[in-house]
Amino acid sequence: RSGEYTTIPVLEELAEEDLSFQVAEAPSVQVNRVATIRELDQELNKHSALMMLDNKIDLKCLTRFLNAESDIKEEDKPWYWERLFTEVASELNSEWESFMSRTQLTVKL
């Protein structure tokens, strides 16, 4: 293996090839606005044409049962994991105990 030399790159050459100093250009994306529930409700009430899908499927029976935004809007409340876990565990235990007591009564009869 005589005659083979390992070359050590020169620092200036590395700096020329180093891409960490280059900034990538961000892609341009067109963002389409999404309609709010209120806007969709207003459009639904204005246009009876929205009650048909492809002029074949009648959506009146479905739109009759849609809830208004005011009916489904809730106040944002923080969730605390410990409290939520305790409440769910307690409810599950109560249901389990109730189920077990009913099954034991059924078995004894």
What are the angstrom distances between the C-alpha of 5 and each of 1, 13, 46, 77? 9, 18, 82, 69
Whether 83 has a pLDDT exceeding 90, the answer reads yes
| pLDDT at 33 (0 to 100) | 78
Say if CB 65 and CB 53 are below 8 A apart.
no
> What's this model's pTM, rounded to 2 decimal places?
0.31
Whether 11 has a pLDDT exceeding 90, the answer reads no
Say if CB 60 and CB 51 are below 8 A apart.
yes
pLDDT band at 13 (very low <50, low <70, confident <90, very high): low
3-state secondary structure of 14: helix
Say if CB 53 and CB 46 are below 8 A apart.
no
Who has greater pLDDT, 91 or 44? 91
Instruction: Give me the residue label for tokens 């935004």.
Output: 69
Whether 18 has a pLDDT exceeding 60, the answer reads no
Helical (H) or strand (E) element with 58: strand 57-58
Rounded CA separation 96/79 (Å): 25
- DSSP-assigned letter for residue 61: H
Rounded CA separation 73/50 (Å): 24
Lowest mean pLDDT among 19-23, 35-39, 95-99: 19-23
